Chain A
Amino acid sequence: SQKIEQNSEALNIQEGKTATLTCNYTNYSPAYLQWYRQDPGRGPVFLLLIRENEKEKRKERLKVTFDTTLKQSLFHITASQPADSATYLCALDVNNDMRFGAGTRLTVKP
């Protein structure tokens, strides 16, 4: 069956460290993958998109990698801040629409 797995429900790190979140998928061949941020009680907010022919994408303190052989994307936040605390969702295109993983709740402690 098709699965999108974000293998940590929760991740706690110290301010200033790099947070690394993982998204694995099975039985999909997505043309691209997206990462969103969701704060409690709010809608997801787009962060980054990476296409299947791109290995890495950066935006300010954010970096995403996409390995179609491993069927995995890694999402990094460098120099993390307490304001980065949120749930981060990966999303894949499935039949031309986005499907989300369950998310990883990141807490950055001061």
Chain B
Amino acid sequence: GDQVEQSPSALSLHEGTGSALRCNFTTTMRAVQWFQQNSRGSLINLFYLASGTKENGRLKSTFNSKESYSTLHIRDAQLEDSGTYFCAAEAWASGGNYKPTFGKGTSLVVHP
């Protein structure tokens, strides 16, 4: 089965509201990265975490390796936040040969 399970697959928000995206892992991960993919396909780096919580503006992400999940919180959503959000997690591997695995993405639409 998939090592990275991302939810929800789709999300609709009104401007000014917020929500959380989540990735659950079926194996122990050493780090997780969150991206926003814009309409042109470019992946924008949001967060890279080996543990704990990071915050950047209206976005906050947490990675709990022990409980095998990571979350991305969006508050005060704006129209430009629309896009597809992906988490990518790396399992521990020998020799430093990480194998980053992507979730299937959350398609976010922010409405006026």
A is bound by B: no
Interface residues of B (CB under 8 A from A): none
